[in-house]
């Protein structure tokens, strides 16, 4: 297999990406995982991309923050981020719970009040060690932002303009569950959602 799994995080290389050569099957991005037990970035359960507790970076093309009961869990806060790997494949990475709390605080502090979005930045994820009295050691994600150069931001806009709607098919939720998003595209079932009309009895 010749896939280069690490995220494409270098702004100069990103600015040279050819949108027509990006691989993305609508609704089926390549699925990456943040393993909170080891603090690693993984491709599925097959490929460890970073070492335990290793920092990594990516350039968000689309994202959303939402509440949902995914994968058999209770309702949680989720952060879903779409990005390119070094082979030009569209990928997705999700975080939940306390990592999302840290992201929202960081965005409020460093981005939102400055009129910036996640897709204006290189997003760096720094795993921080923690310990749970019952489950033992684990990692929570911390988030840092570096502003993208103008050429990379223009390339990001160009890529979004030519790709099909960006979403992950098995995590679709109703629009009302989403608190913040940019670049995320709903599948067709939400494009023409039925309108419920009510009237008072005479």
Sheet with strand 136-147: strands edge to edge: 56-58, 121-132, 136-147
Q: What is the pLDDT of residues 98-127, one digit of tens each?
A: 999 999 999 999 999 999 999 999 999 999
Q: What is the pLDDT of residue 67?
A: 95
Long-range contacts of 133-138 (CB under 8 A, 24+ apart): 137/37, 138/36, 138/37, 138/39
Q: What is the pLDDT of residue 183?
A: 94
Residue 131 lies in a domain: yes
Q: What is the pLDDT of residue 47?
A: 83
Q: What is the pLDDT of residue 73?
A: 85
In angstroms, what CA-CA distances link 177 with 37, 68, 135, 171, 197?
Answer: 27, 7, 29, 12, 21
Name the residue range of residue 49's domain: 26-174
Residue 103 lies in a domain: yes
Residues facing residue 129 across a β-bridge: 139
User: pTM for this one?
Assistant: 0.90
Residue 41 lies in a domain: yes
Full 3-state SS string of 75-137: CEEEEEEEEEECCCEEEEEEEECHHHHHHHHHHHHHCHHHCCCHHHEEEEEEEEEEEECCCEE
Instruction: Select from 67, 57, 78 the least CA-distant residue to 152.
Output: 57
Residue 182 lies in a domain: no
Separation between Cα atoms, residue 198 and residue 184, nearest integer Å: 31
Residue the block writes with tokens 């720094």: 126
Separation between Cα atoms, residue 143 and residue 109, nearest integer Å: 11
- Say how many domains are in the chain: 1
Q: What is the pLDDT of residue 70?
A: 92
89: left (phi over 0), alpha (psi -120 to 50) or beta: beta
Residue 18 lies in a domain: no
Residue 196 lies in a domain: no
The answer for residues whose C-beta is within 8 angstroms of residue 74's C-beta and 6 or more apart is none
Sheet with strand 40-43: strands edge to edge: 47-48, 40-43, 30-35, 90-96, 76-84, 62-68, 178-182
Q: What is the pLDDT of residue 1?
A: 65
Residue 183 lies in a domain: no
Separation between Cα atoms, residue 25 and residue 123, nearest integer Å: 24
Write out residues in the chain with pLDDT < 70, as ranges: 1, 188-202
Residue 83 lies in a domain: yes
Q: What is the pLDDT of residue 72?
A: 85
Q: What is the pLDDT of residue 199?
A: 35
């Amino acid at each position: 297999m010749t896939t280069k799994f690490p995220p494409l995080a270098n702004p100069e290389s990103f600015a040279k990406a050819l949108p027509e050569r990006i691989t993305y099957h609508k609704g089926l991005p390549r699925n990456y995982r943040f393993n909170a037990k080891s603090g690693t970035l993984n491709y599925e359960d097959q490929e460890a991309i970073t070492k335990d507790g290793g920092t990594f970076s990516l350039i968000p093309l689309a994202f959303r923050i939402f509440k949902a009961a995914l994968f058999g869990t209770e309702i949680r806060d989720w952060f879903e981020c779409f990005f390119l790997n070094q082979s030009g494949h569209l990928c997705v990475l999700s975080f939940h719970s306390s990592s999302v709390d840290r992201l929202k605080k960081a965005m409020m502090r460093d981005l939102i009040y400055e009129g910036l979005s996640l897709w204006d930045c290189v997003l760096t994820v720094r795993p921080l060690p923690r310990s749970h009295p019952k489950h033992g050691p684990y990692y929570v994600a911390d988030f840092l932002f570096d502003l993208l150069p103008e050429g990379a931001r223009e390339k990001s806009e160009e890529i979004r303009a030519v790709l099909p709607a960006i979403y992950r098919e098995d995590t679709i939720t109703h629009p009302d569950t989403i608190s913040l998003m940019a670049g995320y595209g709903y599948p067709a079932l939400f494009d023409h959602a039925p309108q419920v009309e009510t009237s008072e009895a005479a």
